[in-house]
Amino acid sequence: MIKVVVVEDHPIMVEGLKNILRSDAGIEVSGAYGDGKSALQALEKGQPDVILMDVNLPDISGVNLCGEVKKKYEDIKIIALSIHDEQPVIHSMLQNGASGYVLKNALGNEIIHAIYAIMDGEEYLCSSTKEALKNADMELLKAIPRITRREKEILQLIGKGLTTMQIADQLFISTHTVESHRKNLMEKFGVNNTTSVVKLASEYKLL
């Protein structure tokens, strides 16, 4: 039995998802939460196999929540649910650990297919998402670099104004390692200072 949690703040959408999921004998809805905070609190008590996660939540973006969940619970699979078919949003969710992306206007059976696909270790994009990526600006696709989890942590701390020494202390790593990550980030983004890295990362919704 695949245990699924729904994180979605629209009650009608939640009920619709529950009805779709309950139609499949191999899936069990183990919880539904309307914001990121309550979802994170629930995960401390027990983890599902899959989270269906709205990209737009009232207290935290789905992008950031996805990253937080994957940082703490690597084995949980996440499927993004969204009205957005813009390529940067799709890319940001996948970059932050989502295994699937399904638009809210997709057919109900696509959600079921997505759950089974990601449980088999595949990445699942609904047909509309695939179409959106196919028509995306390929130059923008190439422009958005892939950063590691550690690089993202360091980037977030740089954005908060921490020095190399402070970052090293907070992450329990050497200053040399922090400087190495700084250099790698500047190379990946094609700029010569970390201020520009932070600015671009924010524009690409990587933060």
Statement to judge: residues 94 and 153 lie in one domain:
no
The CATH number of residue 179's host domain is 1.10.10.10
Same-domain status, 99 and 163: no
For 98-124, the pLDDT digits (tens) are 999 999 888 788 999 999 999 999 999
In this structure, the answer to whether residues 156 and 198 fall within a common structural domain is: yes
Q: Give the E-state strand segments of 34-82 in sequence order.
A: 50-54, 77-82
Same domain, 123 and 169: no
pLDDT, one tens digit per residue, over 113-163 is 999 999 999 999 998 888 877 765 554 555 577 788 888 899 999 999 999
Same domain, 107 and 195: no
- Based on the domain organization, do 135 and 175 belong to the same domain? no
Q: Are residues 118 and 160 in the same domain?
A: no
Question: Do the beta carbons of residue 78 and residue 53 sit within 8 Å?
Answer: yes
Answer whether residue 4 shows pLDDT above 80: yes
The range of the structural domain enclosing residue 193 comes to 145-203
Boundary-marking domain end, from 139, 168, 189: 139
- How far apart are alpha carbons 195 and 58 in whole angstroms? 29
Asked if 96 and 152 sit in the same domain, the reply is no
Do 119 and 161 fall within a single domain?
A: no
Task: Output the CA–CA distances (angstroms, integers) from residue 106 to 109, 112, 194, in the order listed.
Answer: 8, 11, 40
Question: What's the token pair of residue 72?
Answer: 């703490």
* Same domain (yes/no): 30, 99: yes
Report the number of distinct structural domains present in the chain. Answer: 2
Residue type, 66: C
Q: Are residues 53 and 20 in the same domain?
A: yes
Considering the domain architecture, whether residues 129 and 45 belong to the same structural domain is answered as: yes
Calculate the CA dihedral of residues 138, 142, 148, 151 and round it to 10 degrees.
-120
Could you give the percent of the chain with pLDDT greater than 70? 95
